[in-house]
Amino acid sequence: MFGLIGKMRSQPGKRDALIDILLASSAEIPGCLSYVIARDETDEDAIWITEVWDGEESHQASLLLPEVQEAIGKARPLIAGFDSHVRTLPVGGTGLPG
Among 18, 19, 75, 78, binds a second copy (CB under 8 A): 19
**CB-based contacts of 67: which residues, under 8 Å, 6+ apart?**
25
HSE-CB at 23 with a 13 A cutoff on CA atoms is 10
What distance, in Å, lies between the first and last C-alpha atoms of the chain? 12
Residue 58 sits in the site that holds a second copy (CB under 8 A): no
Residue 42 sits in the site that holds a second copy (CB under 8 A): yes
Residue 40 sits in the site that holds a second copy (CB under 8 A): yes
What span, in angstroms and rounded, lies between the C-alpha atoms of 68 and 29?
A: 9
Among 12, 63, 64, 91, binds a second copy (CB under 8 A): 91
Residues that bind a second copy (CB under 8 A): 1, 3, 5, 19, 22-23, 26-29, 32-42, 48, 50, 52, 86-97
